[in-house]
Amino acid sequence: MRNILNLLICKRIILFKFIILSLIISFCGCSTSTNYFLPKKDLIGELESLVYKKNLIESSQSIQNIKAIARTQLVTSYGKDSFRYVIALRHPKDIRIEIMPVNTAYTLAQFTSYNGKAYFIDSTEKKVYEGSSAEDFLKLFLKLPVQDSDLLPLFAGKIPTRFFEEEKLNFYSTSQMNSIVIESANSLYSWKVDKNTFNVEELVIKEPFKKEAVVIARYTDELEVVGSKSKHIIPQKINLTLPKDNIELVMSVNSPKINTKIEDDLYKVKMPDGFEVVEEK
C-alpha cells in the first residue's frame, strides 16, 4: 500500500492528521526537541492523588458530546496553509471530522467512525477508504498514537478516563501553585493539569522504544460554554507539534456546543457518486 501520509502532505490535507489531537497547546514551534518533557517536583501522596483522580474522572465524564468549527493553520516544510475543521464528537466513539477551505463549503477530506465502521473520504483522489476499526484508521492514515475513544475528552481538554482504568498514574507537584503533572508509570504519557478546572494545559506523548516525544501539545485561552445542563470550560486555542515530522498545527475553536443532541444521521456516511471504494483490512 502506498504511503498515504506522504500523499496527504503533497495535497496539503495533512491537516487532518492533527485534528485528532486537536486536543492540545500554545505555540511550540516546529523545532521543538523530541526530548521535551514536563517539569515536575515532588511525588504527591496517595490520598491526595485519589482526590485528584476522582475530580479528573468526573470532569472528563461531564462532557458527553461536542460540536464545533475550528479555524486552523498548518505549518510544515511546505509552508503555511489555513483550513476549517467541522467537528462532531459523541461519547464514546462516534466521530465526524471534515476539513474545508477557509472560504468555501467544499469538503477536502472527511473522517467518520460510527457503529463499528470507519471511513476516510479523500475528495481530491475521489476515493473512500472503508474499514472496521477507527483506531486502526487513525494510525494507518494519520500516524497518531490515539484511540478513537480518546478524541472527545482530548478535544475538550480532558484526560481520557481509560488512563485511570488501564494505567498506573503518578501525580507530581510543580513549581506553579495551580498546576500538577500526571505521568503514566511507563512515562509514555504525561499531562500538566490545572488544579481548579481540571483541564489539561499541556500534553506529551512519547514513543515506547526511544521514549522520544511524538506529540507535544498545549491548550490555552479557556472558553466558557453553556451546555444543556451546566457550564463547561474548554480550551479555545489548541496548538499541536509533531517534532519528528516537523509539523505544527494551531487551532482556534469557534461556536462550540456541548452536550446538545446530535442525531445518528450525522454519522451515517453516504457514498459520493463516482468515488472508488477501497476496503482496508
Instruction: Quote the pLDDT of residue 242.
Output: 84
**Which run of H or of E encompasses 18?**
helix 16-19
Residue 43 DSSP one-character state: B
List the beta strands (DSSP E) in the chain.
65-76, 79-90, 94-100, 109-114, 117-122, 127-131, 169-173, 179-184, 189-194, 200-206, 213-226, 231-242, 247-258, 276-279
Q: How are beta strands 127-131 and 276-279 bridged, if at all?
A: parallel
Instruction: Quote the pLDDT of residue 134.
Output: 81
Q: What is the SS3 assignment for 266?
A: helix
Instruction: Quote the pLDDT of residue 5.
Output: 45
Residue 244 DSSP one-character state: G
Q: Domains of the chain by range and CATH?
A: 25-274 (2.50.20.10)
Count CB atoms within 10 A of the CB of residue 60: 23
Residues of the chain scoring pLDDT < 70: 1-33, 140-145
Please give the model's pTM, rounded to 2 decimal places: 0.85
Taking a C-beta distance cutoff of 8 angstroms, is the pair 235, 222 a contact? yes
**Residue 253, phi then psi, degrees to nearest 5:** -85, 130
Count CB atoms within 10 A of the CB of residue 102: 11
Instruction: Quote the pLDDT of residue 20.
Output: 45
User: Rounded distance, CA 261 to CA 228, Å?
Assistant: 9
Query: How does pLDDT run across 173-210, given as a tens digit for each residue?
Result: 999 999 999 999 999 999 999 999 999 999 999 988 88
CA atoms within 13 A on the CB side of 260: 12
Core vs surface per residue 153-166: b (16+ CB within 10 A) or e = bbbbbbbbbebbee
Place of cell 506529540: 215
